[in-house]
């Protein structure tokens, strides 16, 4: 990991902070769309360094946070079936469904396994031909190619006991939904570097034109993020709105075309519900009809499981930047990381969980750190 | 019963009461679940809730409620420290050691963290039908070697065999007894403002080595468990700093974050860590980044964290470094009077964040 050290250089980071503070003529509102960026911002305390010059809003870019309750409940149903081995990325396991989470289902006898790749889930299916193996295919465009590959390989290998519960979402429609909201405060976006490594940035160009909003494709290290913020602030101060690429070491305009082709062969655009936000047209990926045999929703007839979001949770307003997490009446009261009402309180990079910790630290009279 | 630290004052309140009064415990709800989850064994908030809600109300007594690494039992001559620990690790053998090393080191280290000199061990074995004698012999050899190095005698034991599938090869429980030194009684309630936070070695090696071996991640070669007996380090600290050593913890499950949070809560102090000072080996850092884990929450089996009075901090670091197990000892932070109960980390960029206890097991992140 040595090649990353320059992107964590404290002196470089501080000089970028100074330039941001000197450039912003008034507080700017910038949203980072990716959970990985939120993670860095929270872990490195970047908001504290930016003071009032920039208000970072943690957008709907954490797949854990935006997977709708209904899909979680479907996952829980599948995981509790005795004929199913349910496989998932680790941090989906604690996401609360209507009543339980996957960890509790596992304690109750369901077989739930953490995998690091959907191809591992496919291997589990091949090793357990008498069981149904389901992989929880969540995430943005970043995880879509590997998930497409798993389905493609399953068909190639003639594996019939493997299926995926798909809850894929895509970034551009989410940005559009945020910008379309009448009370939108977001002035500029940091687009997610990993997503753009796959997809490129062509699809952001119409958004920039239509909404006059700066979008900066940004990486994940502290220096990346501060540089992305600096580029966005400069655009705002200059009155420009362009797609700029901070993450040049990884992203090309056209993206990774073979990966895009594979995704397009396996998936198609579908309407998709986002937890806390609701349905956004053509905002997700679903399996193409020719891969229906690998669709867990069809295989296990899950359409009967219908769940609506708890009315007390204001996750949608938080994810759209309308309110700060602490402005939600449930925040820290009926909703805590130990007993989350909504997904942003679950993941450590969820906006609410991040504020829960940060606010506890800020809540006391300032000492030497302030 | 000798309590030299509190000789002139009323007996200390049970630690749990102090914690509760400071308003620092987070009342984890029993949850909707009506049964044990893996997270209850993680050493995080769920473990604490399990103890508080189900065990302490039934067994509560003055000795137990101190909740130290070991219990302190009055005895003629010198008080005794007693500690018990069970070992369930998969795989049984891993780079750097096996379950036998852990079974001795884990219990001996818990005694050492009380300032006790470990003397005797009792060992219980639950063996699974089908376990090969080859593996069993290697585990017993490791235990015997570790016991000899630690200067403890295994004086009693028990073996049981269960059907295939009912245990992960083998489980081991060890109980240790050690003699306490009335002049040297480190205690998690004794941290005070200005004290130095010192770690005796690299953070995160054990947990990451186990995970890499379990998941077959392909970079095991660079990672090995740090399992080691910490008693010699404690002796070195005692000689160099005496009562200047306020608290000792071995940050096993739950990692550094949980150990320091417990000290912060028990002593009602704040703790500030310096990210740049944390000794995290490159391979551990790389594996954690790949897996989406935080090294501060990863288990260790061969390091201790010491809270030492400010004027003894330098001697403490030197004393630790004089021993091979402590050669990369470093000062990593300071005890503060601010925000009692919170552990804060000053990041490399100069900002701060809270290092909280985890609700349950650490889960790998997607992105």
Task: Give, for all 370 residues of chain A, the pLDDT tens digit.
Answer: 445 677 888 899 999 999 999 999 999 999 998 888 988 888 888 988 998 899 998 888 878 888 888 999 999 999 999 999 999 998 788 888 888 889 899 999 999 999 989 999 999 999 999 999 999 999 999 999 999 999 999 999 999 999 999 999 999 999 998 899 888 899 999 999 999 999 999 999 999 999 999 999 999 999 999 999 999 999 999 999 999 999 999 999 999 999 999 999 999 999 998 887 788 999 999 999 999 999 999 999 998 888 877 778 888 788 777 888 888 999 988 888 777 887 788 776 677 887 786 656 554 333 333 3
Looking at residue A348, its pLDDT comes to: 67
Q: Encode A146-157: b = buried (16+ Cβ within 10 Å), e = exposed.
A: bbbbbbebbeee
User: C-alpha dihedral over B212, B305, B314, A43, to 10 degrees?
Assistant: 60
3-state secondary structure of A316: helix
Q: Locate B275 and state its tokens.
A: 């990210």
3-state secondary structure of A43: helix
Contact B113, B234 (CB under 8 A): yes
Determine the Cα–Cα distance for residues B297 and B286; give it in Å rounded to an integer.
15
pLDDT, averaged in runs of 10, over chain B (367 residues): 36 34 30 74 82 92 85 92 94 94 97 96 97 97 97 97 94 97 92 98 93 72 89 96 96 92 95 96 87 88 97 97 95 95 91 81 61
pTM as predicted: 0.81
> CA angle A211-A215-A220, nearest 5°?
155
Answer whether residue B360 is part of any domain.
Answer: no
3-state secondary structure of A279: strand
Determine the Cα–Cα distance for residues B167 and A277; give it in Å rounded to an integer.
46
CATH number at residue B329: 3.90.650.10
Same-domain check for residues B128 and B265: no
What residues of A are in contact with residue B286 (Cβ under 8 Å)? Answer: 1
What residues of A are in contact with residue B292 (Cβ under 8 Å)? Answer: 90-91
Nearest to A59 by CA among A211, A169, A224, A205: A169
Determine the Cα–Cα distance for residues B115 and B109; give it in Å rounded to an integer.
10
Same-domain check for residues B344 and B310: yes
ipTM for the assembly:
0.74
Same-domain check for residues B215 and B118: no
Answer whether residue B177 is part of any domain.
Answer: yes
Taking only residues 197 to 256 of chain B, the set having a beta carbon closer than 8 angstroms to any beta carbon of chain A reads 215
Same-domain check for residues B159 and B208: no
- The verdict on a CB contact (< 8 Å) between B352 and A94 is no
Using the Cβ of B344 and the Cβ atoms of chain A, whether some distance falls under 8 Å is answered with yes
- Give the closest-approach CA distance of A204 to chain B in angstroms: 21
Using the Cβ of B277 and the Cβ atoms of chain A, whether some distance falls under 8 Å is answered with no
What residues of A are in contact with residue B193 (Cβ under 8 Å)? Answer: none
Q: Locate A287 and state its tokens.
A: 């399996």
Determine the Cα–Cα distance for residues B46 and B358; give it in Å rounded to an integer.
8
Angle between helices A10-23 and A222-238 (to 10 degrees): 20
B181 forms bridges with which residues in the sheet?
Answer: B184
Using the Cβ of B356 and the Cβ atoms of chain A, whether some distance falls under 8 Å is answered with yes
- Give the closest-approach CA distance of B35 to chain A in angstroms: 7
What residues of A are in contact with residue B360 (Cβ under 8 Å)? Answer: 94, 103
Full 3-state SS string of chain B: CCCHHHCCCCCCCCHHHHHHHCCCCCCCCCCCCCCCCHHHHCCCHHHHHHHHHHHHHHHCCCCHHHCCCCEEECCCCCCEEEEEEEECCCCCEECCEEHHHHHHHHHHHHHHHCCCEEEEEEEEEEEECCCCHHHHHHHHHHHHHHHHHHCCEEEEEEEEEECCCCCCCEEEEEEEEEECECCECCCCCCCCCCCEEEECCCCCHHHHHHHHHHHCCCCHHHCCCCCCCCHHHHHHHHHHHHHHEEEEECCCCCHHHHHHHHHHHHHCCEEEEEHHHCCCCHHHHHHHHHHCCCHHHCCCCCCCEEEECHHHHHHHHHHHHCCHHHCCCEEEEEEECCCCCCEEEECCCCCEEECCCCCCCCCCCCC
Using the Cβ of B164 and the Cβ atoms of chain A, whether some distance falls under 8 Å is answered with no
Query: How many CB atoms are located within 10 Å of the residue B146 CB?
Result: 23
Answer whether residue B341 is part of any domain.
Answer: yes
- The verdict on a CB contact (< 8 Å) between B348 and A142 is no
Answer whether residue B40 is part of any domain.
Answer: no
Mutate to test the interface with B, among A67, A87, A102, A107 (most CBs of B within 10 A): A107
The β-bridge relationship of strands A162-169 and A132-139 is: parallel
What residues of B are in contact with residue A2 (Cβ under 8 Å)? Answer: 282
Looking at residue B217, its pLDDT comes to: 66
Structural domain tally of chain B?
Answer: 2
What residues of A are in contact with residue B45 (Cβ under 8 Å)? Answer: 338
Q: Locate B294 and state its tokens.
A: 């935080």
- The verdict on a CB contact (< 8 Å) between A49 and B292 is no
Same-domain check for residues B318 and B175: no
3-state secondary structure of A107: helix
Give the list of residues 6+ apart from residue A200 with CB closer than 8 angstroms, or none: A251, A252, A253, A254, A255, A256
Same-domain check for residues B175 and B74: yes
Place of tokens 């639950």: B126
CATH number at residue B121: 3.30.1330.10
E strand or H helix at A217, and its extent?
A: strand A215-218
What residues of A are in contact with residue B33 (Cβ under 8 Å)? Answer: 100, 104, 107-108
Determine the Cα–Cα distance for residues B182 and A235; give it in Å rounded to an integer.
68
Same-domain check for residues B280 and B166: no
Nearest to A308 by CA among A285, A279, A330: A279
Same-domain check for residues B154 and B222: no
Same-domain check for residues B254 and B280: yes
What residues of B are in contact with residue A34 (Cβ under 8 Å)? Answer: 367
Same-domain check for residues B151 and B216: no
Same-domain check for residues B203 and B166: no
Give me the sheet containing A215-218, strands edge to edge: A54-58, A28-32, A188-192, A215-218, A243-245
Determine the Cα–Cα distance for residues B38 and B274; give it in Å rounded to an integer.
31
Q: Which of B149, B182, B215 is the last residue of a domain?
A: B182
Task: Please report the number of interchain residue pairs, chain A to chain B, with beta-carbon separation below 8 angstroms.
Answer: 135
- The verdict on a CB contact (< 8 Å) between A90 and B364 is yes
When computed from its CA atoms, the radius of gyration of chain A, rounded to whole angstroms, is 21
- The verdict on a CB contact (< 8 Å) between B349 and A357 is no
What residues of B are in contact with residue A354 (Cβ under 8 Å)? Answer: none
Give the list of residues 6+ apart from residue A43 with CB closer than 8 angstroms, or none: B347, B353
Give me the sheet containing B270-274, strands edge to edge: B245-249, B305-308, B196-199, B330-336, B270-274, B343-346, B352-354
What residues of B are in contact with residue A10 (Cβ under 8 Å)? Answer: 348-350
- The verdict on a CB contact (< 8 Å) between A138 and B32 is no
- The verdict on a CB contact (< 8 Å) between B360 and A94 is yes
Nearest CB to A367; choose among B35, B338, B349? B338
- The verdict on a CB contact (< 8 Å) between B26 and A100 is no
When computed from its CA atoms, the radius of gyration of chain B, rounded to whole angstroms, is 20
Looking at residue B220, its pLDDT comes to: 58
Looking at residue A4, its pLDDT comes to: 63
3-state secondary structure of A113: strand
- The verdict on a CB contact (< 8 Å) between B338 and A90 is no
Using the Cβ of B26 and the Cβ atoms of chain A, whether some distance falls under 8 Å is answered with yes
Q: Which domains does chain A have, with CATH numbers?
A: 2-50+190-245 (3.40.50.11750), 64-170+255-298 (3.40.50.11740), 315-360 (no CATH)
Nearest CB to A42; choose among B37, B45, B353? B353
Same-domain check for residues B210 and B345: yes
In which domain, by residue range, is B246 found? 196-354
- The verdict on a CB contact (< 8 Å) between A13 and B349 is yes
Cis peptide bond upstream of B91, omega within 30: yes
Answer whether residue B244 is part of any domain.
Answer: yes
Contact B234, B118 (CB under 8 A): no
- The verdict on a CB contact (< 8 Å) between B282 and A106 is no
Answer whether residue B282 is part of any domain.
Answer: yes
- Give the closest-approach CA distance of B259 to chain A in angstroms: 18
> CA angle B159-B165-B168, nearest 5°?
60
Nearest to B245 by CA among B202, B195, B193: B195
- The verdict on a CB contact (< 8 Å) between A45 and B282 is no
Contact A127, A95 (CB under 8 A): no
Determine the Cα–Cα distance for residues A213 and A187; give it in Å rounded to an integer.
6
Answer whether residue B45 is part of any domain.
Answer: no
């Amino acid at each position: 990991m040595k090649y990353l050290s320059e992107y964590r250089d404290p002196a470089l980071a501080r000089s970028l902070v100074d330039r941001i503070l000197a450039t912003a003529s008034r507080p700017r509102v910038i949203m980072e769309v990716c959970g990985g960026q939120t993670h860095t911002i929270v872990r490195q305390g970047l908001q504290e360094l930016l003071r009032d010059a920039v208000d970072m809003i943690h957008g709907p870019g954490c797949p854990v946070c935006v997977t709708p309750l209904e899909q979680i409940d479907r996952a829980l149903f599948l995981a509790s079936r005795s004929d199913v081995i349910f496989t998932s990325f680790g941090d989906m396991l604690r996401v609360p469904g209507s009543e339980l989470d996957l960890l509790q289902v596992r304690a109750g006898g369901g077989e739930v396994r953490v995998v690091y790749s959907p191809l591992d889930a496919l291997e589990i299916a091949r090793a357990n031909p008498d069981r149904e193996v389901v992989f929880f295919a969540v995430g943005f465009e970043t995880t879509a190619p590997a998930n497409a590959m798993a389905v493609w390989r399953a068909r190639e290998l003639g594996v019939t006991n493997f299926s995926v519960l798909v809850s894929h979402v895509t970034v551009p429609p989410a940005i559009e939904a945020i910008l379309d909201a009448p009370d939108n405060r977001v002035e500029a976006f940091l687009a997610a570097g990993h997503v753009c490594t796959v997809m490129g940035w062509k699809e952001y160009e119409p958004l920039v034109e239509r909404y006059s909003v700066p979008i900066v494709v940004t990486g994940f290290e502290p220096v990346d993020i501060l540089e992305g913020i600096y580029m966005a602030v400069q655009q705002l101060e200059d009155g420009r709105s362009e797609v700029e690429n901070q993450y040049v070491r990884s992203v090309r305009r056209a993206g990774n075309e073979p990966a895009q082709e594979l995704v397009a062969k396996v998936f198609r655009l579908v309407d998709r519900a986002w937890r806390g936000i609701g349905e956004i047209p053509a905002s997700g990926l679903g399996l193409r009809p020719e891969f229906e045999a690998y669709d867990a929703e069809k295989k296990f007839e899950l359409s009967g499981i219908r769940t609506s979001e708890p009315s007390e949770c204001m996750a949608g307003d938080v994810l759209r930047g309308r309110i700060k997490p602490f402005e939600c009446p449930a925040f820290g009261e009926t909703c805590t990381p130990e007993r989350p009402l909504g997904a942003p309180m679950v993941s450590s990079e969820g906006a609410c969980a991040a504020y829960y910790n940060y606010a506890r630290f800020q809540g006391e009279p300032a000492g030497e750190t302030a | 019963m000798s309590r030299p630290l509190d000789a002139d004052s009323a007996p200390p309140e049970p630690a749990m009461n102090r914690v509760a009064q400071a308003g620092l415990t987070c009342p984890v709800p029993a949850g909707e679940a009506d049964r044990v989850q893996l997270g209850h064994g993680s050493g995080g908030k769920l473990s604490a809730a399990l103890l508080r809600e189900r065990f302490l109300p039934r067994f509560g007594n003055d000795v137990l409620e101190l909740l130290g690494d070991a219990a302190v039992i009055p005895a003629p001559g010198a008080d005794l420290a007693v500690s018990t620990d069970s070992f369930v690790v998969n795989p049984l053998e891993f780079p750097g050691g096996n379950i036998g090393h852990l079974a001795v080191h884990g219990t001996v280290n818990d005694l050492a963290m009380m300032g006790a000199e470990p003397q005797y061990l009792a060992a219980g074995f639950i063996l699974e039908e089908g376990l090969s004698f080859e593996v069993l012999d290697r585990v017993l050899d490791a235990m015997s070697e570790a016991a000899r190095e630690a200067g403890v005698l295994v004086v009693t034991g028990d073996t049981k065999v269960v059907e295939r599938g009912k245990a992960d090869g083998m489980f081991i429980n060890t109980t240790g007894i050690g003699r306490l030194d009335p002049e040297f009684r480190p205690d998690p309630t004794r941290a005070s403002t200005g004290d130095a936070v010192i770690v005796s070695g690299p953070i995160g090696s054990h947990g990451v080595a186990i995970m890499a071996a379990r998941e077959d991640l392909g970079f095991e070669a660079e990672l090995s468990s740090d399992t080691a007996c910490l008693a010699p380090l404690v002796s070195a600290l005692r000689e160099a700093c005496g009562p200047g050593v306020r608290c000792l913890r071995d940050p096993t499950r739950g990692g550094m974050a949980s150990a320091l949070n417990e000290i912060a809560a028990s002593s009602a102090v704040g703790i500030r860590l310096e990210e740049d000072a944390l000794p995290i080996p490159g391979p551990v850092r790389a594996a954690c980044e790949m897996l989406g884990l935080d090294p501060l929450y990863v288990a260790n089996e061969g390091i201790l964290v010491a809270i030492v009075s400010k004027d003894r901090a330098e001697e403490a670091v030197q004393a630790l470094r004089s021993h091979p197990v402590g050669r990369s000892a470093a000062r990593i932070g300071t005890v503060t009077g601010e925000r009692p109960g919170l552990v804060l980390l000053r990041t490399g960029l100069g900002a701060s964040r809270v290092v909280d206890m985890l609700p349950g097991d650490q889960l790998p992140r997607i992105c």
